[in-house]
Chain A
């Protein structure tokens, strides 16, 4: 390899190369794909929050408006959508909870608790919170 023939090259001033990142960079690697899907489930969380807000708003507008909302909820395509959204919410929650031992180091009497304990505590808390909400709904 001899004479520099690239007209773009000036002696001692080589151009460094940066690749163009492909739009679907995240499809190339299973871990990246799972990551993007996980992040996309936050859209499901946002959507579920909006549904809740809409539910409260239609409740506030009176029984007729609320009945209209409930019948909307019962439409076939909406039910299908909401099953998917529920799946996304569960995936979102589970992936979040599973990361907890990586982020939280707990100590008892000077010794570090194993990751499984942190995990159990988090799932336990989720269970308790869900049970409390359920009790509130059923007691109504």
Chain B
């Protein structure tokens, strides 16, 4: 029940070439195969030099993001049958410099992640003996969606601003900052303001909205960013009121 499918894969081997090239592979694909299964077949039985990232193969580790027919997807969660008829074009995610074949450099993302203080910031810690901070299911629901980000960076690939202006801190990072801002246990919103309201923060976002469209974990980063724009604007006006504390 296999079907021959042509894959056109972008190759980049800096030791033998200056620019990326395209290579075609024909693979007999089974109906239950994901793109990842086809890539694994190529690597194991046709050309061991093909380099790409993967780990969990169940859509939760975020390793295997790549462009398939121009769309950023997780290769482990995209059926080959869903992108037929071939040829299927496979490229690395946009917006990140390509190290090799389908592997991009994501150190910029990691650096930006650190910059928004993605941890619980509190004035004082409750001693462990006193148990957990109470948090109702409703309070958990306030930030739960933004905590589901698997750091796959499909949103960065989909965001034209990020590719045009690589200083933009990006959708996932802002959504993560919001995850902590909206967590009832956190007191760090003030500390995250500087980076979020900077030129490369939320105001670089022009609400294209593609980040939310491609997100495999339903995080809705576009919504997180626009909500923070409203919050920040309202806060700015409140600060102008005569009775606001300086």
Contact = CB atoms under 8 A, between A and B. Distances in A.
B224 to A, nearest CB: 9
B15 A35 contact: no
Interface residues of B, number: 34
Contact of A17 (B14, B70, B206, B220): B14
A102 B16 contact: no
Interface in B201-246: 206-210, 213, 220, 222-223, 226-227, 229-230
Nearest to B99: A16
B222 A102 contact: yes
A127 B164 CA distance: 38
B168 interface: no
B18 A8 contact: yes
A15 B12 CA distance: 10
B3 interface: no
Nearest to B19: A17
B16 A39 contact: no
B223 A31 contact: no
The interface residues of chain B, by DSSP majority, are classed as: loop
Contacts of B15: 4-6, 9, 14
Contacts of A102: 220, 222-223, 226-227
Interface string A1-32: 10011101100001111110100011011011
A99 B32 CA distance: 38
A104 B206 CA distance: 16
A16 B97 contact: yes
Contacts of B213: 31
Nearest to B230: A103
A4 B97 contact: no
A28 B70 contact: yes
Please tell me the size bucket of the interface on A: 20 to 34
B105 interface: yes
A17 B164 contact: no
B163 A21 contact: yes
Contact of B227 (A14, A26, A28, A105): A105
Contacts of B94: 19
B59 interface: no
Contacts of A21: 163-164
Given A6-B15, A19-B94, 8 more contacts: A8-B18, A17-B98, A18-B98, A21-B163, A32-B208, A35-B208, A102-B223, A104-B227
- Leading 8 A-B pairs by shortest Cβ distance: A103-B226, A4-B15, A16-B97, A14-B14, A17-B98, A102-B223, A35-B208, A9-B15
